[in-house]
């Protein structure tokens, strides 16, 4: 069965500091991997996705993520965090044939200190 683990429930960083959010997945075939962001009371916005090719993917809002097959990881990074990045972040894994049917982690809440 597929699963996603986000080990950090809550992370606090100072504005301007770098950020890394961890994601580990379990999936039997080649995964599609996603990172989404969710502001309070809102839906999900896709930050970036990986399904093949270059293992370092760039997304919106200055985010990037690196797929490491050997570690079953897909960690999200940003070199300099802005106060507006405070939100909840979800990692998800989906099938190549049905990218909309995803298994999500439980999320990491990011707080940004001024």
The binding site for another protein (CB under 8 A) comprises 4, 32, 34, 36, 41-46, 49, 51, 90, 92, 97-107
Cα–Cα distance, 24 to 87 (Å, whole number): 20
Cα–Cα distance, 91 to 75 (Å, whole number): 9
Cα–Cα distance, 100 to 45 (Å, whole number): 13
Output 42 or 80, the one with its CB closest to another protein.
42
Q: Write phi, then psi, for 58 (nearest 5 degrees).
A: -100, 145
Smallest separation, CB 16 to another protein (Å): 28
Does residue 102 contact residue 34 with C-beta atoms inside 8 Å? yes
Output 52 or 70, the one with its CB closest to another protein.
52
Smallest separation, CB 58 to another protein (Å): 15
Output 8 or 15, the one with its CB closest to another protein.
8
């Amino acid at each position: 069965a597929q699963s996603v683990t986000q080990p950090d429930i809550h992370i606090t960083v100072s504005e301007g500091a770098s950020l890394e959010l961890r994601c580990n997945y379990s999936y039997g075939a080649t995964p599609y991997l996603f990172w989404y962001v969710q502001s309070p009371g809102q839906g999900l916005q896709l930050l970036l996705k990986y399904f093949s090719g270059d293992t370092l993917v760039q997304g919106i809002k200055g985010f990037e993520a690196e797929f490491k097959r050997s570690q079953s990881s897909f960690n999200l990074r940003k070199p300099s965090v802005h106060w507006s990045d405070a939100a909840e972040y979800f990692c998800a894994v989906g099938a190549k044939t049905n990218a909309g049917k995803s298994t999500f982690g439980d999320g990491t809440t990011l707080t940004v200190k001024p």
